[in-house]
């Protein structure tokens, strides 16, 4: 459930009347930093809980030219009595960058790198966007849905 203060902020900044209770409102890329900054500075959601990305291929029955998308979900927390968390997310076409939150939340740094490495999410303005889990010579992003499960990888297969 989204706390009332965050719901009011989303309505003010995004005109979002009914955000999804689990992943929060969809934030346009050009407003992501402003929304995250307002959550941190105005409402004191200072703890970065997570950033998680998922790949969504274009539907088979979609119009030609419909791009595959990357959804990046975030959650931040206000600490202290009555600790609460706030979710929000952004959707971008594959190979399109969304703004990095590493300049606002130090905890976003390695988590954004992990999502880049495994899913291929790009983060504009990230201080060091490179692989963090897979070897540097690894090709592709293993958590994308089009990644072939039977791809041979020395020394495992």
Q: What is the CATH number of the domain that holds 55?
A: 3.30.460.80
C-alpha span between 133 and 113 (Å, rounded): 9
Q: Which residues pair with 20 in a beta bridge?
A: 24
Do residues 49 and 76 touch, judged by C-beta distance below 8 A? yes
Give a yes or no: residue 143 inside a domain.
no
Give a yes or no: residue 56 inside a domain.
yes
Number of CB atoms found within 10 A of residue 63's CB: 7
Q: Taking 90 as the threshold, does the pLDDT of residue 97 lie above it?
A: yes
Give me the pLDDT at residue 155, please.
Answer: 64
Cis-peptide, bond into residue 155, ω within 30° of zero? yes
Average pLDDT over residues 106-119: 97
Q: Give the CA distances from residue 150 to residues 24, 57, 135, in Å, rounded to whole numbers and listed in that order.
A: 35, 19, 18
Give a yes or no: residue 131 inside a domain.
no
């Amino acid at each position: 459930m989204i706390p009332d203060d965050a719901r009011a902020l989303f309505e003010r900044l995004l005109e979002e009347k009914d955000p999804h209770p689990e992943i929060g409102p969809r934030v346009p890329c050009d407003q992501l930093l402003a929304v995250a900054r307002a959550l941190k500075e105005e409402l004191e959601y200072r703890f970065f809980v997570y950033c998680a990305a998922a790949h969504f291929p274009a539907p088979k029955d979609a119009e030609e030219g419909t791009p595959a998308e990357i959804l990046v979900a975030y959650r931040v927390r206000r600490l202290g009595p009555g600790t609460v968390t706030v979710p929000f997310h952004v959707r971008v076409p594959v190979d399109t960058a969304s703004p990095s939150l590493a300049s606002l939340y130090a905890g976003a740094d390695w988590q954004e790198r992990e999502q880049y490495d495994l899913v291929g999410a790009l983060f504009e303005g990230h201080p060091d966007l490179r692989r963090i889990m897979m070897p540097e010579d690894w090709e592709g992003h293993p958590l994308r849905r089009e990644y072939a499960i039977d791809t041979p990888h020395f020394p495992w297969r």
